[in-house]
Structure 1
């Protein structure tokens, strides 16, 4: 696909992520793409595998799920912040996507304070295994800011892979998280969204990263990405203190075993990898 079309896709994805409460109608997104409504819809669907309406709904509800588990904001306020003026409509859409109402989703134990009291030692339990990981070469896009907004970079990365036919050269989807969100301001957090790469040259506009491999503690988390912070607290608050292991001087990374466009949020599988000495 030519560069102008690629830029249009990226521009629209950025617009959706940056304006969850705004006008995200097909007409508006077609204007952002600078294409006719009819042709834009076909181009977007062909490249992303989703209609514009499906993408908007998924992105808005993921933002809402993150707000439910990361903030104490009222459900009505969260509903408005992601473009649902009618809370009843928001409740129905969220329940259909996540299998639980917004209130039940929050009450189910996904909510974790931003700075929990580690003295309590009360964290959910997740399976952790030790394994030897291979060195990996990644391509992707750097992200700055709140970790829960990294999806914006994954959207852009996926669009670039589709327009450039990179999928045959890719392995596991991955993310690297360089900072501790409990000690670094959200605006200063550094992360990276991409995939293992088996091609030759790094594609234009992307950045290359390397995972050294070696001994790794792997926590398998099943569920919505919005609740994954609880798994990190479990890894560092439950497993690590009693493991006898020492973390290496390397950031945690995640490997994604399935696709949020293909499975329900509660079926998502993520491996959280903690490099060890």
Structure 2
């Protein structure tokens, strides 16, 4: 069989596994069922997954469940016992230990004092100086991209598909710069209708075909908020950037979507050390 077709086939199988995990994240996930989804031997599929994805399937499920739990702790009033149960943990003690290992703090302490709380307090106080924002001028850049519809917290599904499609084509760049582009205000409409796009910077010479599309990030000035911490706190970061920093900055936003540049990999570093640059497009100032 042609090597490219083999890689495409295996990549497609791993994408089906990821999609199944997301669809059943709050259910009991059978590894035998995942082998069926992957159309691979139960003896070997998990090793293939680990080799291709860079983490075990157990680590993926745990990471995604805890990421969703952190989102509920930061952005809802759901009680911790319910959060633990929905994350697949039989007791709050077991959940607490797993959460501390991933986030460096207990669920209760995270809800009270996590990065989302710092943005919430800055929003309430109207403090426009508490977080690092710089004005940067970026060149126009070309990306390979795949659309995502649904929760912004699940854009990793499109990221995984994008990565796999580029690998199957032998088009994965040596330096992978992952970017998320977000088109809708998550506070204005239903979560299932939110539109976003997973992107990776790519050379002009690389041809793109379906399901990959081309996205061109516009050149010009941006306000860059350098954020460190879990993705679950990002809604508060956006509220602060747009509601506190921007009105006092002397700048006006351009009619283009915000994008996020992901500087490290959630599979490789603790949630508390995730680094993301949030880019708000600005209009050029008239001299």
Per the TM superposition, whether the score is higher than 0.5 is: yes
Please state how far the C-alpha of 1:102 moved relative to its aligned partner: 1.1
Give 1:92's aligned residue: 97
Alpha-carbon displacement from aligned partner over 1:226-268 (angstroms, at most 9, x marks no partner): 1111211121122111111010011111111111112111111
Given the superposition, is the C-alpha separation of residues 67 and 166 from structure 1 closer, same or farther in structure 2, using an over 3 Å criterion? farther
**Contact 2:260–2:279 (Cα < 8 Å) also in 1:** yes
Task: Work out which of the residue numbers 214, 217, 225 in structure 1 matches 2:220.
Answer: 214
Given the superposition, is the C-alpha separation of residues 275 and 32 from structure 1 closer, same or farther in structure 2, using an over 3 Å criterion? same
**Contact 2:116–2:234 (Cα < 8 Å) also in 1:** no
Given the superposition, is the C-alpha separation of residues 166 and 106 from structure 1 closer, same or farther in structure 2, using an over 3 Å criterion? farther
Task: Work out which of the residue numbers 43, 58, 61 in structure 1 matches 2:63.
Answer: 58
What do you get for the CA RMSD once the two structures are aligned? 2.3
User: Does the alignment pair 1:236 with 2:242?
Assistant: yes
**Contact 1:132–1:213 (Cα < 8 Å) also in 2:** yes
**Contact 2:136–2:224 (Cα < 8 Å) also in 1:** yes
Task: Work out which of the residue numbers 221, 237, 255 in structure 1 matches 2:261.
Answer: 255
Given the superposition, is the C-alpha separation of residues 41 and 156 from structure 1 closer, same or farther in structure 2, using an over 3 Å criterion? same
**Contact 2:163–2:172 (Cα < 8 Å) also in 1:** no
User: Under a length normalisation based on structure 1, what TM-score does the superposition of the two structures give?
Assistant: 0.91
Please state how far the C-alpha of 1:138 moved relative to its aligned partner: 1.1
Give 1:11's aligned residue: 16
Count of residues in correspondence between the two structures: 275
CA–CA distance in structure 1, aligned partners of residues 50 and 177 of structure 2: 24
User: Does the alignment pair 1:185 with 2:190?
Assistant: yes
Given the superposition, is the C-alpha separation of residues 153 and 48 from structure 1 closer, same or farther in structure 2, using an over 3 Å criterion? same
Task: Work out which of the residue numbers 41, 44, 69 in structure 1 matches 2:46.
Answer: 41
CA–CA distance in structure 1, aligned partners of residues 35 and 139 of structure 2: 43
Give 1:270's aligned residue: 276
Unaligned runs of 5+ in 1: none
Given the superposition, is the C-alpha separation of residues 76 and 162 from structure 1 closer, same or farther in structure 2, using an over 3 Å criterion? farther
> Aligned with 2:177: secondary structure?
strand
Mean alpha-carbon deviation: is it higher for 19-28 or for 188-197?
A: 19-28
